[in-house]
Amino acid sequence: MSFNQSTMTPQSQSFSDSNGLVTRFSFLFMIVIAFIILLRVGISLVTYFFKPTDSPILINGMVDAKQKRTITQDPTKDGSITIGRSDNAVDGIEFSWSVWIYINNLDYNNTQYRHIFHKGNVDLTKKYPDDKGVVGLNFPNNAPGLYIAPGTNKLVVMMNTFDVINEEIDIPNIPINKWVNVILRCRNTFLDVYVNGTITRSVELTGVPKQNYGDVFVALNGGFDGYISNLQYYNYALGTTGINKVASTGPNLNMVASDNSAGLTSKNVKYLATRWFVDE
């Protein structure tokens, strides 16, 4: 008695078809999984290479501190350098700002506050009651604002909080004809001011710092007689190592392309010692 090996029962045919469907489904499932993985990797790579940095350099080089500049926060506009919100740690809001300044003399614009930079709106015409009608401080938004006080070599830091429109921190006795690095570091409600790597003031604000979406303005209202270099924002609180690195690296003395004024060369630059302390 012979058997035809090509003959299959209905049950075996059904089993074979079922296995074929499972195989095809498994293959398609693996393709979908592989596609999803590759897509996620691709998106991550694109984001890594093309997303704005969390710590942008707003002025990369040296500029004349008498020439106003606006760093727009509108990403649809040419030349914009957008600043992200702070990296809120467990202890609260965190961010830092760093800038190098070189003051030639204090006689220029000495009857008003001399503007270095601020983030917010633009209105330097308001007369603050406590300042006897002196103009030059932006109102109301300073998040933060940095100025040179009228007729003196005192730095003035302004910061908006949710409780007080503008809180003021004074840093006296800033030398002239020397490069000075100023770092403003915020951690929760504490605002620290570092000068050339040395902490000079640590103030507990009356409320939580209030950030804004306004543009960054530099050297408004005539600014001051000198130079500004390497204005940078960090969306976190710089640590001691990072602060010392900024101070030891020094300013970028390459004049920004749009500036035609005579800059300071490496031959005549004077650095302020990083062990300098402000007299209280």
236 DSSP assignment: S
Q: What is the mean pLDDT of residues 39-61?
A: 77
SS3 40: helix
Give CA angle at 143 (85, 78), nearest 5°: 65
At residue 35, the pLDDT reads 87
Q: Say which residue the tokens 């601020």 belong to.
A: 118
CATH architecture, range 57-249? Sandwich (2.60)
Query: Is the bond preceding residue 150 a cis peptide, omega within 30 degrees?
Result: no
SS3 7: coil
Chain segment 119-153, per-residue pLDDT in tens:
999 988 766 555 556 789 999 999 999 999 999 99
| Cα 91 → chain centroid | 20
Residue 217 to residue 38: CA distance in whole angstroms: 42
Chain segment 188-240, per-residue pLDDT in tens:
999 999 999 999 999 999 999 999 999 999 999 999 999 999 999 999 999 99
Q: Say which residue the tokens 């209280």 belong to.
A: 280
Q: Delimit the domains of the chain by residue range.
A: 10-51, 57-249
> Is the distance from CB of 73 to CB of 169 less than 8 angstroms?
no
Amino acid (1-letter code) at residue 87: D
